[in-house]
Structure 1
């Protein structure tokens, strides 16, 4: 039976990196070590614990049952130690290292990037890596510290913090509306060309709510469909059809007259903006700083919109 005194705990860091990176080569690059050194660490760790942890073939590697058990423990040890070191640094008011943040493309460009830039100015020793994409990422496997999620959460294994909410409004370009009579009810939009988003579960269906609480569902006539919100916005601006767009992505377009709201008393249900992060007893200092930076940015943006309407 292996004894903790017989195990070099530094090898647990290497082992966790190999599992998360998916290969010895990727782990070596992440850790800044030679591949041969990483391989040697894994072999010695297996000798120290007395069991095989990774089964290697010419095409792939996979964890044994013992390897999975040790990885889960190693991951928690590494994360706890990292959080402790960050807390020590944060106690002096300084954040160091690199924080990795994932976000949807349009929200990352319009909101998350400037919020993190402000955080970086306040903490010059902190590096920021922003990963934007439309699909959900595995926070643990991709080493993501914080992911910004729009709408309902699907990851029950992660912790979350609410940042705010966003709205989706019916909009169209003036060129598209030229020669068309303004709609008086959502049902009239059923025959109009619609710009949809293919990543939604029901891209051709609109579920709308009136300010007075009434609800209506519209089956749309698809004219243009895109797999990113930014592409859908571009198509709507170009007059391909009307669309249901997020308020944070079209605020400037509305102010400049490039887009016009349709049926302004109607909108989709408000949806949450949330930050999710791997489960732990306490959010790390970097995670807490990112959440605070995003909340601060959103609060200032809301205040600016209120001031602009006065």
Structure 2
């Protein structure tokens, strides 16, 4: 024998041995008896041994046939089980979902969504990795990343889940002295989020299309939106934050939104996952679930 035998022929041989003959095995497999006999004969030729002694009444395993059947039955059963499980995982959400998102978003938004997702799909468990770093999904074997803002070109696949507005927010004391247009912001202490490519440069667009680009000065820099919000609430300065982070604080009067007549570029919320021909059912299910969950949450916030 110059190589491994054909796996399907091993299956057919085991089926004949278990059924006790070619006729019964062919009926179980839905094959023609002649075709089944031919495949087993080819397996014997590949191995260079006789596996079955054929008589007019029955088929009997040879010593080599018994050895082969004992050796391959367990692995074939394990392989069949694994293939059935893979087929089930491809059609129904199950297994472990490894997902990553920025720390503040993971805690404030993604965690409750995952809890609700598990109620609907109890066969899915998850590993949640909170990180502001852009992790390598393939190397780290991560199924899905939630990323925000504007995506760079990538070989990864992405689905847009939602979008959010960016609001200029200030503590009430600073807000009371706000100027008539966004250029006033350049004179104020600014809390910059250094995760952004240009955390001190913002372009505002008025309703009539007039654009103003403002370069913020002074203040401090931090590496977390949660810290930005905490510093603004403490009166350390002003900043830009996603609407979903601050709309409740604004509604309660703890923060003030400035220049609501001017807009900043909206940013997206994306599900990013490795490219491939087949997307696992657990990933497809969570993307659809999370998109609907975000839409419902946004509707409740506006109500």
TM-score for the superposition, normalised by structure 1: 0.68
CA distance in 2, matches of 1:159, 1:85: 23
- Which of 260, 263, 274 is matched with 2:259 structurally? 263
- Which of 151, 154, 170 is matched with 1:153 structurally? 151
Q: Could you tell me how far 1:83 is from its partner in structure 2?
A: 6.2
Name the residue aligned to 1:282: 278
Structure 1 unaligned regions, length at least 5: 8-79
What SS does structure 1 have at the residue aligned with 2:219? strand
Name the residue aligned to 1:122: 120
Name the residue aligned to 2:245: 249
What SS does structure 1 have at the residue aligned with 2:277? coil
Matched residues, number: 227
1:1-310 equivalent positions in 2, closer than 5 A:
84-88=87-91, 90=92, 95-177=93-175, 180-307=176-303
CA, structure 1 residues 211+5, in 2 after alignment: closer, same or farther (shift >3 Å)?
farther
Structure 2 unaligned regions, length at least 5: 8-82
CA, structure 1 residues 257+83, in 2 after alignment: closer, same or farther (shift >3 Å)?
farther
What SS does structure 1 have at the residue aligned with 2:214? strand
What SS does structure 1 have at the residue aligned with 2:218? strand
Contact 1:120-1:127 at 8 Å conserved across structures: yes
- Name whichever of 104-113 and 292-301 sits farther off: 104-113
What SS does structure 2 have at the residue aligned with 1:251? helix
Q: Could you tell me how far 1:292 is from its partner in structure 2?
A: 1.3
TM-score for the superposition, normalised by structure 2: 0.70
Contact 1:196-1:222 at 8 Å conserved across structures: no
Contact 2:94-2:281 at 8 Å conserved across structures: no
Q: RMSD value over aligned CA atoms?
A: 2.3
Deviations 1:17-75 (A, max 9, x none): xxxxxxxxxxxxxxxxxxxxxxxxxxxxxxxxxxxxxxxxxxxxxxxxxxxxxxxxxxx
CA distance in 2, matches of 1:278, 1:81: 24
Q: Could you tell me how far 1:189 is from its partner in structure 2?
A: 1.3
- Bigger-Rg structure (1/2): 2
Deviations 1:211-239 (A, max 9, x none): 33222110111312101111111111111
Contact 2:192-2:199 at 8 Å conserved across structures: yes
